[in-house]
Structure 1
Amino acid sequence: MLRMETLGQRIRGFRLKKGLTQIELARGFITPSMVSQIESDRARPSYKVLVEIASRLDVSLEQLMNGVNFDLEYTSKYKLAIGMVRAKEFGAAIPLLEGLLEAATPKVSKENLLMELARCQLELGNVEEAESKLNQVMDTDQGTTLLPLVLLYLGKVAQVKSEIPIALFHTKRALNEVQKAQAIEADLHVKILMQLALLLEKVGKAAEAAKYYEQALKLDHCSSEERAKTYLRLAEVYDRQKKYEQAEEYATKAAILLGEQSNQKMRQDLQHRSIMLRRGSGDWKESVQSLLSIAEKYEQNADSVVAGKMYADIAQICRENKAFDEALSYAEKARMSLLDTDPVMGKVHRVLADVFFHKHDDLKGQKHLDNAIKIYEQQGMTAELEEVMLASCRLLNNKGDFQEAYRKLEHYHQHLIQELGQRGIVL
C-alpha cells in the first residue's frame, strides 16, 4: 500500500518542479534552514508561512495540501484548519476538518467540526453537503448552544435553493433562539437580523425588512463598510416604499461614511448607489456629473461593463428630467458597453422607449418596451417587469387596442404565478 505524501515532500516536489533552491524559496521571509526542516517534516509551518510558500511556488493552498498526510498533533491540526477557514481558504480546510472528524477526540467537539465543515461547504456552494452536516448537528443533544447558528446556516441553505418560505422559517427561529440566550452574541445577532431583512425584501415585505435593518444598526456591531452597506439597503427599501425622506436620510448617512472606505472599488460602488437614491433631492445635473466622473474612472481601469451601467443610470436621470436628447446619447453609450442580455439593458430599453415615444415614433418605442419586458422576465426582475408591463398596457389601452393590452396582462399574471412558485410561494 502506497504511503500518502507528507507536507514536506509535497513542498519539496513543487519547489523542484519550479526550479527553485531552498535559499531562493526562503529569501526574505524565513531561513533556508527552516525550509530544509519543513521539507524533511522536522518543523511545522504556520498558516502564514504556508500561504507565502504556496504563493512563491505558484500553486493554490488547496493544491499544496490536498491529500497530504499531516503528522501533527490533533490540536495543531485543528488550529491550522480554523486559520484556513478564517482566511476563507475553504477548499483547503475541508480535508483537514474531515480528518479531524474521523479521528474523534474530546479535545474538540464533533458539533464544532461539523459546523466548520458546513460553513466551508456553504461558502463553496455545496448546499447539499452543508445541509447534511447541519442536520447532523441538529440531531445531537449537545447542539443546543449552536442552535441559533445552525438555524442561520439552514436558512442560508434554503435561500440558495430558492426555498424562501423555509429560509424565513429557519431564520426567524434563529432570531428567537438568540434572543432567548442569556449572553447574546452581538455578531451572530446582527447576521441573523440582516439575513431576515434580506429574505423579507425578497417576498416584498419592505416595511418589515426595514425594521430588522434598523435593529441591526442599533446593535452597533458593524464595520464602517458594513454600516454604509446597511444604510444603503435601508435607503433602497424606503425608496421602493416611496418614503423618499427616509430614503434620502439613509443615503446621506451612507455617503458620510464613504470617505472612510479604503477599498476604491467599494467606495465607487457605494457612491454610485447613494447618488441614485438622492438624485431627486438636488440638482440632477450635479448627479450626472458625479456619475460621469465615476464612469470615467472605470473606463480608465478597462472596466467598460461597469462604466456601461453608469451610463444607463445617467440616461435614466436625463429621461426623468425630460432631457431626451441626452438620455438617448447616454443610453446608446450604455448599449455599446453591455451585452444584450445584461439585466441593466432592461433599464436602457425602458429609457429608449420613452425617448422614441417623446419623438412620436411609437413603433420604435413599443419595440424597446417589449425588449425591456423580455429582459425583466428572463432575469426574474418582478418589480421592474410590473412597471414596464403596466406602462405598455396603458399605451395600448390609450390606442384602443384593448385585446392586446388584456393579452399582455394575462401573460404577466401567468409569469408572476410561475416566478412565485419557483421561490416556493403559492398564492
Structure 2
Amino acid sequence: METLGTKMRALRKQRGLTQLQLASGISTPSMISQIESDRATPSPQLLEQLANRLGVELNYFETEFIEKSDELQCYRSAKEHMEAGNYREAIDLFQSLSWPLAPQFRPDSIYLDVATCYFRLGEYERAANMYESLVELGCNRSEVSVVVSGYYHGALAHRKLGHDDVAIAYLERAREIIRTHVEHYSSMSIKVGLSLARLYLQSSHFKQAKEIYLELLELSQTYSSRVDFATIYHGLACSSTYLGEYDDALVYCERAVEEHQSLQNIGNAMRCRINRSLILRMANRYDEAYTYLQELGAHVNPHDSLLRTAIHHELAQLCLQFERLHEGIEHTEIALTSKRLDRRAEVALRTLRIKIFLQLQDLVNAHAELDRLEGCCKDDATALPTDYVRLKCEVLHQIGADAELIKFCQAQAEQTISADENQEQEIAPFTFWIFPRQ
C-alpha cells in the first residue's frame, strides 16, 4: 500500500525536484526527508503548500493524511495517558492502533510501552508475556538491543511474580548476548549485571555474585556513574562477607560508604555502616562490632525506623554472642515497634527472640514467639527461616510436648520424601538489610 511519504517521493522525482528544491521557502530538506520516509506527518498547511508545488490537488494526499493523522493522534494520546499514570487508558489506545503498524511507528516501542503499562498496573503476568513478544520481535529483526531490553524487563516482571529462576535465566541470556556483541556494551550491561548479581546474592550464590560485581566494577569505569560504583562496592562487601573473606569485605564496605557520602546518599551510607558491624560480628570481632554499633546509633536519623530496626537487630545478635540476653530481648522489642516492619524483618526478629528465650530457659515466651513466627508465615511457608525446624523441635522437646513433636517430625519427613530434589532452592542469608538496593 502506498503511503503519504511514498506518494510524495514519487511525485517529487517525476517533477525532477530535489528535496532542497521542494522545501525551498516552505520547509526544510530534513523535514521533507522525514515525511518521505514516513517518520513525520506534515501539518495541513504544509501539506497544502507541498501539493501546490508538486502540481496536484490536496485530495491526492488527503485520505492517507487523515488516516495517518488519526493514528498519530491516537499514539500521542496514548503516550500522554501513560505519562499521566492513566495506564489502562493508554493500553486501550495503544491496542487500537491499526496493524500492521504505519511506517512511522516502531513495533518494539509499542510493545515496550504496553508492557510498561501492565507492569505499573501490577499485572506482571501480562507484562511478562509482552516482554517475551518483544524478545521474539527483536530476534526476528536481528535487533540485539531490542532482545536485550526484552530479556531485562522480562526478568523484572518474573521477579515480581516470584519466578527468580526464570529471571536469572533471562538475565544470563541477556548478559551472554551483550558479551558477544561488544558494540552494545552500555548502561544496559550495567543494569543487567546489577540485577543478576542481586538475585545471586539473594539465592546464596555468593561466588557468582562476586564475579559479576568485579566484572561490573571494570565496566563501570567506562559506562556508568558514581551511583553504580557505590552499589557495586556494596555488593562486593556482601558477597565477600558470606564467602568468609572478611578483610576484603571491610575494604569494599568502606569504599561503598565513601561513594554514597560523596553523593549525599546518607541513608545508603548508613546501611553500609551497619553492614560493617555485621562483617565484624561474622569475623568474630564482637567487641569491636558492639562498640562501633553503639557509636553509630547516635548518628542515625531518629525518623528512619528501618535503619533503627536494623541497628537494634544487629545489637541483639551481638548480645546473644555476649550472653547479654535480657539486653538482647530489649533490642528486639524496640525493633518490633517499627512502623516499617516487613515480614522478612519480623521473621528475623522473632527467630532471634526464640533463640534468646531458649538460652534464658524461658520456655513460655519461646513457645509464644514460635506461634507468632508461624503466624506471620502462615500464607507462605517458604518465608520461614532455615533453622525453623530445629528451633521448633527444641521448643517442643523442652516443654515436653512429645506427641506434637512426633507428629511434627513425621510431617517434616513426609515433606522431605515428597520434595523434588531437583527443585531444591538455597535460601538467602538470615539478615534483612545487608543487600544493596538496585
Aligned to 1:289: 295
> What value does the CA root-mean-square deviation take over the aligned residues?
4.4
- Give the superposition deviation at 1:402: 8.3
Q: How much has 1:290 moved relative to structure 2?
A: 0.7
Structure 1 residue 416, shift from structure 2 partner = 7.8
Q: Identify the residue that residue 387 of structure 2 maps to in structure 1.
A: 387
**Any conservation in 1 of the 2:351–2:373 contact (CA below 8 Å)?**
yes
Q: Structure 1's 352 and 154: CA in aligned 2 closer, same or farther, altered over 3 A?
A: closer
Number of the residue aligned with 2:319 = 318
Aligned-partner residue type, residue 125 of structure 1: G
State which drifts further: 396-405 or 347-356: 396-405
- Distance in 1 (CA, whole Å) between partners of 2:89 and 2:416 is 42
Contact kept in structure 1, 2:250 and 2:279, CA below 8 Å:
yes
Deviation at 1:386, TM superposition (A): 1.6
Per the alignment, residue 353 of structure 1 pairs with 354
Structure 2 match to 1:46: none
Structure 1 position 121, deviation (Å):
2.7
What SS is found at the alignment partner of 1:385?
A: coil
Label 1:261 to 1:357 Cα distance change in 2 as closer, same or farther (>3 A): same
| 1:343–1:379 CA contact under 8 A, matched in 2 | no
Aligned length: 348
Which ranges of structure 1 fall in alignment gaps of 5 or more residues? 1-69
Aligned to 1:256: 258
List gaps (5 residues or longer) in structure 2: 1-67, 426-438
1:91 to 76, 87, 90: 87
Q: Distance in 1 between matches of 2:225 and 2:185?
A: 16
Aligned counterparts, 1:224-235, within 5 A? 224-235=226-237
Question: Residue 352 of structure 1 contacts residue 365 of structure 1 at CA under 8 Å; is this kept in 2?
Answer: yes
d(CA) in 1 for partners of 2:121, 2:401: 51
User: Aligned residue for 1:13?
Assistant: none
CA gap of 1:415–1:314, structure 2 versus 1, over 3 A, is farther
Q: State the partner residue of 2:169.
A: 169
* 1:292-303 paired onto structure 2 within 5 Å: 292-294=298-300, 297-299=301-303
Highest CA radius of gyration, 1 or 2?
A: 2
Q: Cα–Cα, structure 1 residues 304 and 153, in superposed 2: closer, same or farther, change >3 Å?
A: closer
Is the deviation greater in 202-211 or in 372-381? 372-381
Alignment check: 8 A CA contact 2:78 2:94 kept = no
Secondary structure, aligned partner of 1:128: helix
Partner of residue 249, structure 2: 247
Q: Distance in 1 between matches of 2:250 and 2:399?
A: 38
Of structures 1 and 2, the one with the larger relative CO (CA 8 A, separation 6+) is: 2
Identity over aligned pairs, percent: 14
Aligned AA for 1:114? Answer: Y
Q: Which moved more, 1:393-402 or 1:108-117?
A: 393-402
Specify the code of the residue in structure 1 equivalent to 2:235: R
Aligned to 2:102: 105
CA distances 1:329-367 after superposition (whole Å, capped 9, x unpaired):
222222333699843233333333343334333443344
Q: State the 1:88 CA deviation.
A: 9.5
Report the Cα distance in structure 1 between the residues aligned to 2:81 and 2:175, rounded to whole angstroms.
Answer: 28
In 2, Cα distance between equivalents of 1:210 and 1:405: 41
Equivalent position to 1:425, from 417, 423, 426: 423
Please give the residue correspondences for 1:3-402 in structure 2 after superposition, counting only pairs within 5 Å: 74=72, 81=79, 91=87, 94=90, 98=94, 101-102=97-98, 104-140=101-137, 141-142=140-141, 144-145=143-144, 146-220=146-220, 221-279=223-281, 281=285, 282-294=288-300, 297-299=301-303, 304=305, 307-337=308-338, 342-369=343-370, 371-372=372-373, 375=376, 385-393=385-393
Residue identity opposite 2:94 in structure 1? E
SS at match of 2:198: helix
Q: Tell me the distance in 1 between the aligned counterparts of 2:320 and 2:108.
A: 56
Tell me if structure 2 keeps the 8 A contact 1:97–1:117: no
Task: Evaluate the alpha carbon distance shift between residue 378 and residue 327 of structure 1 in structure 2; reply closer, same or farther with a 3 A threshold.
Answer: farther
Q: Deviations over 1:185-228 (max 9, x none)?
A: 32111222223223334444232222223222221144333332
Contact 1:164–1:425 (Cα < 8 Å) also in 2: no
Tell me: CA distance 1:93–1:272, structure 2 relative to 1, closer, same or farther (3 Å).
farther
Question: Deviation digits for residues 27-61 of structure 1, max 9, x if unmatched?
Answer: xxxxxxxxxxxxxxxxxxxxxxxxxxxxxxxxxxx
CA deviations 1:44-99 (Å, max 9, x no partner) are xxxxxxxxxxxxxxxxxxxxxxxxxx989949966994x998x8958399459717
Once residues 171 and 163 of structure 2 are traced to their aligned partners in structure 1, the CA distance between those partners, rounded to angstroms, is 12
- Normalising by structure 1, we get a TM-score of 0.65
- The 8 Å contact of residues 148 and 177 in structure 2, kept in 1 or not, is answered as yes
Could you tell me whether the CA contact under 8 Å between 2:115 and 2:126 is conserved in 1? yes
Give the structure-2-normalised TM-score.
0.63
Give the direction of change, closer, same or farther, for the CA distance of 1:224–1:349 in structure 2 (3 Å limit): same
Offset, 1:375: 4.1
Q: 1:170 to 1:243 in 2, by over 3 A?
A: same
Q: Give the 3-state SS of the residue equivalent to 2:230 in structure 1.
A: helix
Q: Is the contact between residue 347 and residue 372 of structure 1 (CA under 8 Å) also seen in structure 2?
A: no
- C-alpha separation between the residues in 1 aligned to 2:329 and 2:361? 14
Change (3 A) 1:154 1:95: closer
Pair 1:289–1:409, CA change in 2 (3 A) = farther
* Partner SS state of residue 337, structure 1: coil
Distance of 1:115 and 1:254 partners within structure 2: 34
